[in-house]
């Protein structure tokens, strides 16, 4: 696949609920798509979303938008999968697993019936398990199957650290790795502002980040989705912004480093599991998963996270 100014970028979104429709809106606002097709079990709802999005085009960028079906995937460059049930208040992402795996068992074969070239971008939760599941069902190269993973958690962490240090999030360099869920890991040893590790940054510039503050920020990052869901029933704006950032890295062939989820084989003693690590994203999908100089305790925490995801993969009998 070659993206160029001549190339029409077609994106299909499977599941046009709150997340799918908001992803569509974000892609249009960022001028990242020329052909946008919404595919959903709830056909009439997808039609309504396509109409509403189309009516806003006058204020955005020209694009062809329609509600369609799986044959429309045949020319798609990227297929975003946001189909499935959302978390109920108090429900863990893993509780969603069986409900959403059944939906993927139906959706993924339909996609690959029409294309084996597109990049599949999985957003439905539990995203790491479903990224692995999608790769297994689709039988396409693992670099073509990307989970949104901890893209959003990393954004939340940087937002919170930015608030703590009174610095905008893009100037904070820190990652959330592992599971998009309860066992996610913040490798604090690598977190920095202006190339200065956070502990030292605090000493030199004020706002020192002690152990207590670190734990609180990591906990708030981990529980951020629950806090939003408790108040408004679902999260969709921030994930849509994150998905559109991943799409941008693909369509612009950026080689950007993003904490997306993908198959990890042979790093940190892990194999046959999908989870998030900083990865190079370009027009091929995941070009490379990066190895980090983690401390032994960070490495242990990552392995614990991987074991949790692997246990869920085993529940699906897919390992």
What residues make contact with ligand NAD under the rule CB under 6 A?
14-20, 40-42, 45, 82-84, 86-87, 96, 100, 103, 106-107, 123-125, 127, 148, 152, 180, 234-236, 239
- Nearest-CB residue for ligand NAD: 17
Is 173 assigned a catalytic role? no
- Active-site choice (30, 166, 173, 180): 180
Cβ nearer to ligand NAD, comparing 44 with 211: 44
Backbone angles phi, psi at 226, to 5 degrees: -60, -40
Cβ nearer to ligand NAD, comparing 260 with 294: 260
Cβ nearer to ligand NAD, comparing 82 with 198: 82
Cα within 13 Å of Cα(227), Cβ side: 7
User: Please, which residues have CB within 8 angstroms of residue 89's CB and are 6 or more apart in sequence?
Assistant: 226, 229, 230, 233
Whole-number minimum distance, CB 107 to ligand NAD, in Å? 5
Strands 10-14 and 35-39: parallel
Calculate the alpha carbon distances from 180 to 149, 150, 225 in Å: 5, 5, 10
Whole-number minimum distance, CB 222 to ligand NAD, in Å? 13
136, two tokens:
């297994």
Cβ nearer to ligand NAD, comparing 180 with 209: 180
Whole-number minimum distance, CB 21 to ligand NAD, in Å? 8
Whole-number minimum distance, CB 89 to ligand NAD, in Å? 12
Cβ nearer to ligand NAD, comparing 212 with 232: 232
**Distance, CA of 281 to CA of 269 (rounded, Å):** 23
Whole-number minimum distance, CB 241 to ligand NAD, in Å? 11
The residues facing 38 across adjacent strands are 13, 67
**Distance, CA of 300 to CA of 313 (rounded, Å):** 20
Please tell me what DSSP assigns to residue 190.
G
**Distance, CA of 172 to CA of 191 (rounded, Å):** 8
Cβ nearer to ligand NAD, comparing 61 with 71: 71
The radius of gyration computed from the CA coordinates of the chain, to the nearest angstrom, equals 19
- Contacts of 137-141 with C-beta under 8 Å, sequence gap 24+, read 137/104, 137/105, 137/108, 137/109, 137/112, 138/108, 138/111, 138/112, 139/112, 140/112, 140/116, 141/285
Cα angle 178-128-8, degrees, rounded to a multiple of 5: 115
Whole-number minimum distance, CB 153 to ligand NAD, in Å? 8
Cβ nearer to ligand NAD, comparing 125 with 193: 125
Whole-number minimum distance, CB 184 to ligand NAD, in Å? 11
The dihedral sign for the CA sequence 242, 246, 252, 257 = positive
**What residues act catalytically?**
180
């Amino acid at each position: 696949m070659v993206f160029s100014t001549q190339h029409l970028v077609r994106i299909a979104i499977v599941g046009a609920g709150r997340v799918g429709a908001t992803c569509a809106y974000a892609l249009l606002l960022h001028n990242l798509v020329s052909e946008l097709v919404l595919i959903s079990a709830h056909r009439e709802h997808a039609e309504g979303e396509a109409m509403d999005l189309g009516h806003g085009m006058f204020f955005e960028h020209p694009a062809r938008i329609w509600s369609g079906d799986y044959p429309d995937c045949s020319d798609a460059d990227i297929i975003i999968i946001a189909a499935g049930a959302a978390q109920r208040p108090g429900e863990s992402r893993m509780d969603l697993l069986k409900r959403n795996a059944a939906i993927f068992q139906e959706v993924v074969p339909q996609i690959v019936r029409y294309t084996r070239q597109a990049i599949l971008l999985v957003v439905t939760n539990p995203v790491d398990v479903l990224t692995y599941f999608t790769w297994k069902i689709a039988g396409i190269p693992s670099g073509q199957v990307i989970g949104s993973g901890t893209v959003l958690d990393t954004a939340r962490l940087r937002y919170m650290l930015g608030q703590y240090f009174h610095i905008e999030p893009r100037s904070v360099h820190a990652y959330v790795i592992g599971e998009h869920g309860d066992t996610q890991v913040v490798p604090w040893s690598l977190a920095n502002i202006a190339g200065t590790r956070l502990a030292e940054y605090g000493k030199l510039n004020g706002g020192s980040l002690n152990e207590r503050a670190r734990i609180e920020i990591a906990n708030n990052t981990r529980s951020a989705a629950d806090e939003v869901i408790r108040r408004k029933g679902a999260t969709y704006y921030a994930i849509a912004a994150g998905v559109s950032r991943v799409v941008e890295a693909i369509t612009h062939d950026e080689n950007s480093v993003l904490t997306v989820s993908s198959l990890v084989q042979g790093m940190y003693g892990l194999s046959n599991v999908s989870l998030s690590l900083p990865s190079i994203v370009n027009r091929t999908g995941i070009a490379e998963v990066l190895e980090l100089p983690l401390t032994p305790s960070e490495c242990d925490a990552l392995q614990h996270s991987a074991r949790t995801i692997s246990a869920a993969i085993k529940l699906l009998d897919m390992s």
